[in-house]
Structure 1
Amino acid sequence: MKLKSLSMQGFKSFADRTQIDFMPGITGIVGPNGSGKSNIIEAIRWVMGEQSAKGLRGDKMADVIFGGTKTRAPLNRAEVGIVFDNQDHYLNSDFSEIEIKRLLYRNGDSKYLMNGKQVRLKDVQELFMDSGLGHESFSIISQGRVEHIFSAKAEDRRAIIEDVAGVYKYKQNKQQAGKKLADVQDNLARVTDILYELEQRLEPLAQQSAKAQDYKNQKQAFEQLDQARLQIELTQWEKALSTTTQERDEQSAQQQDLAETLSQAQTELQQQKLALIDQREHQQRAQQNLLEVTQRVEALAGEQKLQAEREQNQKQLVATTTQTLAERQTAATDLEQQLDQAKATADEADAKLAALNDQAQALMRPDDQAQLVTLQKQLADLRPELVTALEQLTTAKNNQHFAQQEHQRADAQTDRYQQRYQTLTEQMQVAQADVEQAQQQAQQAQADLKQAQAKLAQQQTQGQTVEHQYQSNREKWYERLQAQQHVQARVESLQRLNEQYDGYYQGVKQLMKQRQTFPGIRGVVAECIQVDGKYQLAIETALGAALQQVIVDTPTTAKHAIQYLSKNRLGRVTFLPVSTIKGRQLAPNVLQTAQAQPGFLGTAADLVEMQAEFKQIKQQLLGTTVVVDELDHANQMAQALGQRVRLVTLDGQVINAGGSMTGGASRNQQQGLLTQKNELAELSHQLKELNQEVTTLEATVKADQTDLTQLTESFKNQQDLVIQLTEVHQQQAATLQNAQQELSHLEKQRQSLQYDMQLAGVDENQDAQDLQNQIQTAQQEYDRINQDLESTQTQISALQQSLDDANQALVKVQLAQKTAEAEQQHAQEKVVNLTAQLTANADAQRQLKQQLQDLSLDQADVNQRIATEYQANQTAREELVTQLAEIETALQSQQRSLEQKEQAIAQMQGQQQHALATLNQLTARQTGLQTRIEQGQTQLEETYAVHYEPQTAATCETLPEIKDQLKLLKRGLDDIGDVNMNAIAEYAEVKERYAFLSQQKQDLLDAHDDLSETMSEMDEEVKTRFKTTFDAVNAHFEQIFVKMFGGGQAKLYLEQPDNLLETGIDIKAQPPGKKFQQMSLLSGGEKALTAISLLFAILAVRPVPFVVLDETEAALDEANVDRFANYLQSVEQETQFIVITHRQGTMAACDVLYGVTMQEPGVSTMVSVNLNDA
């Protein structure tokens, strides 16, 4: 593959379309500084996908678009195209010729084209991927890259070999694997934390599950005895019900006889009451009629009085209406007069407006307007001609100015070379003196070196001692730091569990989180109790779920908390109100018996401490529980106490009242709430001591580290001093040699420049005369066009003035038209308003006249109607008064008869009530027994799912014994306390989740091992590729160095051969006549040529089709430039070179030479010469 051509337009200083054709071999690009040579290299990088504006010497990407000059406007886009000959299909494409084009517009839009088809940046990057031509490849080598090689640190040089070895993808894959490994470690930490928390829950859940199972067993025994009790009681209740039913039937028959007699008497009484009620209803109707007639008479009298007032008001209204009608008629006359005046005003406004319209028409001048347009068009045609003439004149003057500047620059350049020659002669004399001085300094440095080496050995021994002490103290510090972090993590975990009430029931947890809402909450039992570690497990077992009961001040606080839990469905909580809880304790004889038994340690209440105000609560929870040392003694004590007391051993085994036993241990022993509380206190104290130890050790380690750093720095300074003294003499000799070579080189350049100036001076006078003739011709053409333009402008100004005067007069007339139109409109509106007012006035007069007629008609009819109705109602009232007197007499007679009948019935009711009371007692007894039987049967069926079966007399005799057994079981259930019945299922669920997460943890550990192994394999691959590439580059470097220097030797060294993943790379070289030494000790030119040799060695290991060299050999002297050029010619058959250079030796080796000039300021142009043809 070869680079065929490069085209540019609008890219930086290449404003015009410029194309460079690249031939096989070496193509050189030359030109003065600032002419735009480097823009060609940047165009190649840009079209191949460069995305860094700063890498193209700009602030933003739009800076690559031609920005304009004094004579040229900025362009809107930049375009660069590059063509590759791909007949060998070096690039992964089916095309034998590939053209890539990149365009950028000033608005930010951009696009890529590949063989005329628009593609993505990614497509371009993929085309060059793994071809050696991509970003940061060695196909483009600048002087800065050469300097980077010899000035870079050894670690930075490693990156060069890594790029050649192609290990980036492996390092990237390793980085990704490292991220995955970190994720696995994070997940593993989270799973471990969750497993730890589950382990903390397993043991309490196991205990709660065992306690729930024990409760369940005792509950079943209780239920079986309770069933037997219910069966016996139901049998007894049925017998009692049969007897009661017989007695009730007898009493019911007696009650029935009394009821029949009383019913007949009450029927007669009811009939008399109904007759009395009918008579009273008749009386009420008569009274109601009398009331209505009386009210109507009074209302008619009031209406007569009101009618008189209405007559007076109507008379006043007639007078007012008559007056208003007269005023309306007068107003109508005035409005008619105003209407006539308004119509006259409107006619005058019409006439005035017509006159003004005629005047305005006369002031318009269409002929002058047409002439003005013609002259303006002539003026517009002359202006482009004037601009063209001005451009020609400016171009001629600029060319003359540029020629003068070139002459001045040539003179200045000659003066500079003469001054340079004199300066270098003086520098040679100074350098000779410096060499003699350097020889004396080298001898002194040798003596200083021996002294420094002795001091260096002493410091090394001292440093080893301090380092050993530092490492020992650091290991101690790290050990205590790990212990501190472990304890700190455990303390924080326990504090977090306490703060979040982890391990508590849901209801307790939610309530305590809202503790501030309920000021009466004093705390959870587990928070308020203190116990010695010896009795810790026994007390935790004795309390069980009671540890999570909440202490409050009063029942009111408990009530509010329960309402809150119920409302939000947060769970159930047991509350212990301080004001109402009563303590429990063993009977004295029971306590004496227990104390006499072996293994007795005390009641649980005596072995714990709580605040004095919680004494009753402590006694309630633990007052009847005895702590025993071990299970055998507990069994003996239980027998002695008749299985009536709950016993707890130190290792957490329980013998309940009634004889049941609870015990055992879990594989994953978990902390209880009290154990967790005590552990937190102990660890907090331990953490304080560890913090103090870590602080002390950290200060010691820092002091040791400071001493070690000072010794290391002193040791390094001694080494630097030895190296510095060794370099002084070599640098002075190299300086003298370089100055002599530079002086000879400048002398040759001065002779060449003088020859060029003589050739250029021959044509200078003739060029100046031609430029002067061009200026005169352009000036004459510009003056002629300018005169025509001024004449046209004068005619336009005169005609424009005349039109302006006419326009001013026209504006005045138009203003008068606007005023007249406003007056006309105002007069017309006034006519319309007055006409509307006249119409409204006429309508109002008609309404007033009609109102006067209506008022005179109604008054007489109303007076007649009121008088007639008043007389009729007065007669009806008198008749109703007589009727009411007759009704009152009849009612008094009926009332006396009714009272006598009621006295007789009252006597019979007394007899019935006595009989009824007896019947009710029997009925209540019967109902109570029936209710008991129904409730008992319902309880059997709903609670125990069994049916009632009558029991024998012998079975019924066992009822007292059954009740005694039930009391014992009830006491045992009470001693167990609160039981979390969900613990059985929750324990199974947590246990299953623990097993699942344990498997997850193992999977994560396996993934951790797999990723670690993968990273190790990648490291091995990187080592292999790096070492292979390093050896290959080193071998080529040794060969190319000899070719470049004409002898000598050079070699690459690994700083840490045993650490291929991180080792830096040093360069040592021995130019002919010198000794083998570090690259940093070479002269500037030797460093540059050594770096160039390394770059060529890299290209030999990883060849590319073409290489762009941007002033790479600038720091070389003439002899080394010739060797550089010879090497390029030796490999030009394999690689195509594009070289930007100032050096004649390199130019001479080029097959094609392009010159970059800037004849027009700010705009670059190209000139080509085929040297092979020449």
Structure 2
Amino acid sequence: MKLKTLEISGFKSFADRTKIEFMPGITGVVGPNGSGKSNIIEAIRWVMGEQSAKGLRGDKMSDVIFGGTSQRAPLNRAEVSITFDNTDRYLNSDYSEIRITRALYRNGDSKYQINGTTVRLKDIHELFMDSGLGRESFSIISQGRVESIFSAKPEERRSIIEDVAGVYKYKQNKDKAEKELTGVQDNLNRVQDILYELENRVTPLAEQSAKAQTYLTTKARFDQLDQSRLVLELTDWYTEQADIKAQLSRAEDENETHAESVKTHTDALAAMKQARTEAEEKQQQAQAELLRLTTRAEQLVGEQKLQAERSTNRSNVTRELEAQLAQVEDRLTELRVTAANRQETMTAAADQVTTLEANIATLQASHPRQQLTQVTTDIEQLRATLVETMQLLTTAKNQQQFLAQENERNDAESERLAQRQNQLTLQMTNAEATVATAQTAVAETTATLASAQAEFTRLQQLGKQLEEQSQARRQEWFSKMEEDQRLSTRLQSLSRLSENYEGYFQGVRNLMKAKENFPGIHGVLAELISVASTHQTAIETALGGALQNVVVADEQVGKTAISYLTQHRLGRVTFLPLTTIRKRELQPAQIQTAQGQAGFVGVAADLVKTDSAYRPVVQSLLGTTVIVTNMDEAVPMARALQHRVRIVTLDGQVMNAGGSMTGGASRNQGNGLLSQQSEVESLTAQVATLHTQTEQLERQVRELDDELKATTTAFGEAQDQVLVANEAAQAATAQLQVAEERLAQAQKEKSALTYEFSVSSSGTVDHASLVADNQHDIATLSEQQAAQQAQLTSLLAEQTTLSDKMATVDQELTALQAQLATAQANVQAASVRHEDVVEQIQAEEQRLAAYQQQMTDLTADQGDVQQRLANDLTGTLADKEATEDELTDLATELEELRQEIALAEGELVQAQEAQTEAMTNLSRLSGRQGELRSAIQAGERTLEETYDTSFEYAKSQLSVMPIADIRTELQALKVTLSEIGNVNLTAIDEYVEVKERFDFLTQQQDDLVAARDNLRQTMSEMDEEVETRFKETFAAVAEHFAGIFVKMFGGGQAKLELTDPTNLLTTGVDIKAQPPGKKFQQMSLLSGGEKALTAISLLFAILEVRPVPFAVLDETEAALDEANVDRFSRYLHDVNDRTQFIVITHRKGTMTNADVLYGVTMQEPGVSTMVSVNLMALDEMTSEN
């Protein structure tokens, strides 16, 4: 690879664009002090990524931009481009030629490009990484770098060897691994925290699971023996059931005989009673008929009287109806006349509307509006034509004046110069406008760039804030989710226990599972009360087994439930009917005494919260129990209350009424029904809160992620906008510079032209033909103007006439439209009045029909009414007499039947007594049969529902034990199950779940530990690689240093030493040297020249170990004497076949060995310029220095 060119523009003293081409071999750059030689080296360092302003001899990075002189204004941009021949692919790039450009603007913006493509500074650093090139490599060696070698501490000097060894990427990898190790360790700590929490759960769950397993094993044996018991009992019941069946058959035959006898007597008696009943019904019917006939005869007499009165009133009503009929007919005649009149009025109004609409249409068709519009358009066009003609005439007259003036000029050259002067004036005007526009563009683009940079910075900060917020919210979300999962698991376990009534007595559990069959069950007492956590132990102790009492509506519900439990042998339950339970309370004196004692907490019933409906139950069970803080207060409290009240302490110790004491603790204390219920309520609230929190956090995380994504997109867009605005600002600045240059050039030319115009001669031109043509044009245009003016006057008159006509037509239209509106309103009003009259006619016609119907009804024939009533009365009286005779005969028949019935009833009683005795025996047998059937059904149901098996299968698996032994073992197993106590059956599955999670996280922990160990191993390997490379590189550099030292000094010896050879990662590097004729000593004890030459020897040794394509030496040999400068130059000449050298120098010995020589001078103060150099110039430059 070779360095080809360096282009500098606006960088430090290089105000103008300067291009330096580098050839193979040694290129020397010379010039007086202060001419800007070192600025070339700093330009190379800057374009290759230097970020330190102080390293570039400035206070801030903008100091590298040309700051102006007394004759030049400051520039707004510094730009440097460097080009490499990369044919050998020395740099990791596919390009054969690589051009790197860096630009900095005074507003702080910067630009980096590789082959014209915008890149990041990081990309440039990566391009030169481990290549031996770059801003801090040994390819650029200044006098300060030489001094830093012999003035540095040994620990600082080791970085020289590290750079040569190329261990930077390994140290970077180690730093990366160290950061990853921190993250892995954080995750490991988190996993270990969770494992610690799970470990605290695994142990108790394992115990609960083992207890549940023991319970299940014991319960399985109990179920097996209970099945055997049921099979043996069912076998006995089946045998007894067969015997009962035979006895029932005989009893049924005997009962049937007696039943037939009873039936015979019953049928005979029934027939007699039926005959009596029929006779009694006939008697009742006859009596009813007699009553009806009597009543009918009375009604007929009354109707005869009424008809006589009605005949008198009917004549008066008829006369009134005839008068009303006449009035209605007159009213109808009048209304029909009115309706006809209003119909005629409505028709006339409608005809008027039709006429008016036709007149309006005729006027609108003949309206002059369109003619007026056309005339107005013609006037406007003619006016435009007239104005154009007047403008042409004015132009012609102006031309006439111009020709007259031009005719006076007699110098054609003066005219040409005048025209040129006008052109220059226009150019200057345009140039000034362009400058103003460019200045505006520069201001606008600068403002846009500032705005884009501000937005870029804001979005960058916002993105960082959002990312931090997202990480924090996500971490909080994960924590809440873990806590939610843990509490939800516990809540589910407790809920399943509660739903299955685990921990309750068998009878309570079986009853509550079937509570849907008993509407009057309110629930178990433990479900109906709530107690503060501080009082739970005391209340649970005070209630004891009563916590499992079942509250029911009344005794009937309790009785039904007891029958169900007894019939199915499901256990025993204590019921608390709300209709029978009564309050039990302490006497006021007892309460007062208790309140006066130390440690008094309250009456137990007052510490329990429940619905008012259940308050009597609580009062009944706890109304006479006192709660105290501890046993020390309970003893004196009991004495004060004379041992008549039960006292319970907060930790569950009891002083019973009568003086006895109960106390101690069990393994299950604290896990009672109230505690469990309280924990469920607490967990439900906590889980609900956690659900809400996790949902909110999840929503916040998603919102932050969306916002971060949008911000990232906006950030990219803002970055692009900054680049675009930056380029626009540069373009505007460049345009401004070009415009200012053009304006200056025009001003110079105008000055020169003014001088030329003042000395030029003028000539005459014959304009006779032009004047004649101009006069002809004026005459023609004047005639056209007069004609157009006359035409315009005519059109204006026509426009006035049409306007007057249109006004008249508009007035007529307005009047007709008003008449039309009035006529339409009249039509509407007439229509409404006509409809009213029609409705009145219909109403009067209905009245007329009603009056006519009434007349018809009144005039009906009433002649035979009196005769009909007389005939009905005669028949009714005859029927009444016949009915009275029939009643006498029925009374005699009924008496005979009553005597026969009395005799038959005595015989029936004897038959029924015999049947009752037979039925009693049959009922006894049937009852026993029912008991056996119920017992068998209950046993079979128990086998089917409880044990999910049949009698036949259970019989085939029958235990060979006697039933007495079975019952003994079952009793023992019941005791064992009772001792086991409450069992958390869900602990088995929960233990498996938690254990699996524990094992999973344990595996995660192992994986994280392995990852941590791998990272540590990687770091160790990086250290080993660094040690190896450092050791090998140190040995190679030391070897070459010793040889080059001898060449540079012409003898002597030197060596490199490690300050701590046992620790190659931190050891420093010491330099010892022995110039010819001196002793072996530390480098710091040498003279200044010897130090410099020793340091240069070390640098050359480094270039031998790590050759680079090119090296830039900035007055490296300045401290050497002439003899050593010659050795320095010869060494460069010896190795320039593999390394291209660019040497900044003012030493003649170095200049004479250069293959190409450039000179730097300041022909203009403060502005560096590259010039060619010859030997005479060399003499002058070296003499100046």
Q: Give the alignment's TM-score, normalised by structure 1.
A: 0.50
Larger radius of gyration, structure 1 or 2?
Answer: 2
